[in-house]
Amino acid sequence: MTTTTDRYQHLEASLARARSELDAAEAQGLFCGLLCASGRVNETQWLGEIFEEGVDTDSAAVEACRKDLNSMAESLSTALYSGDMDLELMLPDDEAPLGDRAEALGSWCHGFLFGLGLGGVRQEEIRSSEVRELLQDMGEIARLNLGGEEGSEEDEAALTEIVEYLRVGVLYIAETLQPLQAPPRLQ
């Protein structure tokens, strides 16, 4: 069985081989934002954001990465709209330094907010105060910088709580912004 850590490491390596400036966390956040914005991910939306101008998009590394990203998009769509609440944020494993995991979480949030904007969602047009608050919190998290620091058990617990808050928050945002995509029991 493939774990989230395995998927993170695989995508991280795939993005690096394809010379993308995004890491796996930011890429998954971007795709979640796009899915929440429009209920789908269109390759033409993200291709130029993942791969810099001048990168040979026909290279084997880029083609393999595109395949990995499209597969991730399908999995995310299922996770967001199945009603099973099984979305897992793609972050480094718990053995990585706390600062690195917090930085990846900030990248994830940055990607999510960028994906929402890329998908056409304007924060000033969102009617739900809960969604606006979640997006403000993501903006704050995106600015976190702990610089590879080790943390205490309290810091570890706090990061775990923040990850869970975001996971459930993203499911709520998806349900709120794309109610027709959500399963009937969540509507």
Q: How confident is the model at residue 56 (pLDDT cuts 50, 70, 90)?
A: confident
33 close to 115: Cβ distance less than 8 angstroms = yes
Confidence bin at 181 (pLDDT 50/70/90): low
Q: Which of the residue ranges 13-22, 59-68, 176-185 would you say has the lowest mean pLDDT?
A: 176-185
Domain boundaries, the chain: 4-181
- What confidence tier does 149 reach under pLDDT thresholds 50, 70, 90? low
pLDDT given at position 8: 93
Write out the two tokens for 88: 């897992």
Q: Is the pLDDT of residue 58 over 80?
A: no
Residues 6+ apart with CB under 8 A from 124: none
Query: pTM for the whole thing?
Result: 0.90
Find out whether 109 and 77 touch, Cβ atoms under 8 Å. Answer: no
Q: Measured between alpha carbons, how far is 160 from 164 in angstroms, rounded to an integer?
A: 6
Measured from the Cβ of residue 57, the count of other Cβ atoms closer than 10 Å reads 14
Per-residue confidence (pLDDT) for residue 187, from 0 to 100: 39
The CATH number for 4-181, chosen from 1.20.120.740, 3.30.230.10, 3.40.47.10, 1.10.579.10, is: 1.20.120.740
What is the rounded average pLDDT for all residues in the chain?
88
Instruction: Quickly state the pLDDT bin for 185 (edges 50, 70, 90).
Output: very low
pLDDT-derived band at 186 (thresholds 50, 70, 90) equals: very low
Among 7-11, 73-77, 93-97, 149-153, whose mean pLDDT is lowest?
A: 149-153
